């Protein structure tokens, strides 16, 4: 096959075709430039002129009320929606050319948990980006799946149907799937919902380990109490970016009032006094 045909075939198969594009020198893990988005039939923008950069090693909390556009931003980054204006790049490339490097834990409510698949099958899906859809998992893929199951402490659940599990166990399965994917940018959409304290601690411990290895992580959450402890940066969003910086600096009563539209009791945020 000629060079040109090979390249165009690789592009067509960007997801399963082992299209391992290198980072462009100095490029951030994620760059969102002037992104606005509006869904058809909606009167208002879901996102308006959003700019942000995330660098390798950062652990970023994406905070905002229901309907703020957090899931929309994640879908735009993954290329599941096309922005009305602006651009998104992942390690210097469009996300669709770089899907092996970006993994998502979707919002729990957006997943059909009745689908008849086992935990092991779901976690193995994290490897398809490396395998292509029509190849059988090899020993190295099985090892990656076992390591991900072990990291999330769900080896004993491997042959269970995902629909039978608790909310917290299902979140561990989805995180294990992204660990098996071994992406460099991880986007987690409200992974702390429905999880008990031990699952929450395991999630944070895992994210800290991954960012220490140079991976970039963005986590949408409603839990303001975890920002200063577990994140290096907080990004407040309500259709537009309201505040962006170290949690201790941006987590002020003013920011919360602007994002959520009401005055917070001052005692809730003792680190701001």
Q: Is 224 in the site for ligand ADP (CB under 6 A)?
A: no
* CB 50 to ligand ADP: min, Å: 12
Q: What angle do CA 224, 227, 228 make, to 5 degrees?
A: 125
The residue within the footprint of Mg ion, chosen from 29, 35, 71, 144 (CB under 5 A), is 71
Binders in 172-211 for ligand ADP, by CB under 6 A: none
**Considering the rule CB under 6 A, would residue 225 count as an interface residue with ligand ADP?**
no
Q: Is 245 in the site for ligand ADP (CB under 6 A)?
A: no
Nearer residue to ligand ADP within complex by CB, 46 or 179: 46
* 66 interacts with, out of ligand ADP, Mg ion, none, CB within 5 to 8 A per kind: ligand ADP
Choose from Mg ion, ligand ADP, none: what does 42 bind? Cβ within 5-8 Å by kind.
ligand ADP
Give, as ranges, the residues between 96 and 125 that touch Mg ion (CB under 5 A).
107
Give the count of residues interacting with ligand ADP (CB under 6 A). 11
Strand order in the sheet with 85-90: 47-54, 30-37, 85-90
Dihedral angle of Cα 187, 194, 222, 83, to the nearest 10 degrees: 40
Please pick, from the candidates 68, 162, 179, 186, the single residue that binds ligand ADP as defined by CB under 6 A.
68
Calpha distance 147→164 (Å, rounded): 22
The item of Mg ion, ligand ADP, none sharing an interface with residue 68, based on CB under 5 to 8 Å by kind, is ligand ADP
User: In terms of C-beta density within 10 A (0-12 exposed, 13-18 middle, 19 or more buried), how is residue 222 classed?
Assistant: middle
Nearer of residues 230 and 239 to ligand ADP, judged by Cβ:
239
The 3-state DSSP class for residue 81 equals: coil
Q: Which is nearer to ligand ADP, 39 or 115 (CB)?
A: 39
- The CA dihedral of 161, 163, 167, 169, to the nearest 10 degrees, is 10
Residues in CB range of 107: below 8 A, 6 or more apart: 71, 189, 190, 193, 220
What is the token pair recorded at 109? 């409510």
Name the DSSP letter for residue 108. Answer: G
x/- letters, 51..70, toward Mg ion (CB under 5 A)? -------------------x
Q: Residue numbers of the site for ligand ADP (CB under 6 A)?
A: 39, 42, 46, 64, 66-72
């Amino acid at each position: 096959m000629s060079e040109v045909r090979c390249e165009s075939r690789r592009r067509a198969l960007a997801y399963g075709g082992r299209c391992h594009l290198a980072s462009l020198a100095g490029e951030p893990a994620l760059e969102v430039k002037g992104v606005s988005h509006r869904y058809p039939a909606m009167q208002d923008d879901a996102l308006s002129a959003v700019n942000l950069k995330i660098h390798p090693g950062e652990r970023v909390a994406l905070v905002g009320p229901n309907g703020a556009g957090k899931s929309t931003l994640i879908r735009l980054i993954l290329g599941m929606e096309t922005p009305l204006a602006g651009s998104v790049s992942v390690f210097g490339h469009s996300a669709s050319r770089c899907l092996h490097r970006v993994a998502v834990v979707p919002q729990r409510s957006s997943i059909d948990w009745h689908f008849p698949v086992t935990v092991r099958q779901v976690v193995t899906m994290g490897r398809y980006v490396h395998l292509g859809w029509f190849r059988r998992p090899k020993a190295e893929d099985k090892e990656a799946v076992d390591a991900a199951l072990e990291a999330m402490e769900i080896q004993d659940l491997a042959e269970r149907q995902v629909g039978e599990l608790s909310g917290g166990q299902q979140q561990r399965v989805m995180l294990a799937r992204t660990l098996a994917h071994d992406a460099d940018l991880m986007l987690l959409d409200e992974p702390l919902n429905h999880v008990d304290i031990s699952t929450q601690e395991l999630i944070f411990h895992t994210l800290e380990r991954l960012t220490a290895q140079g991976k970039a992580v963005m986590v949408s959450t409603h839990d303001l109490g975890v920002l200063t402890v577990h994140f290096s940066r907080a990004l407040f969003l309500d259709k537009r970016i309201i505040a962006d910086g170290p949690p201790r600096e941006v987590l002020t009563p003013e920011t919360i009032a602007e994002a959520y539209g009401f005055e917070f009791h001052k005692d809730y945020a003792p680190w701001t006094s």
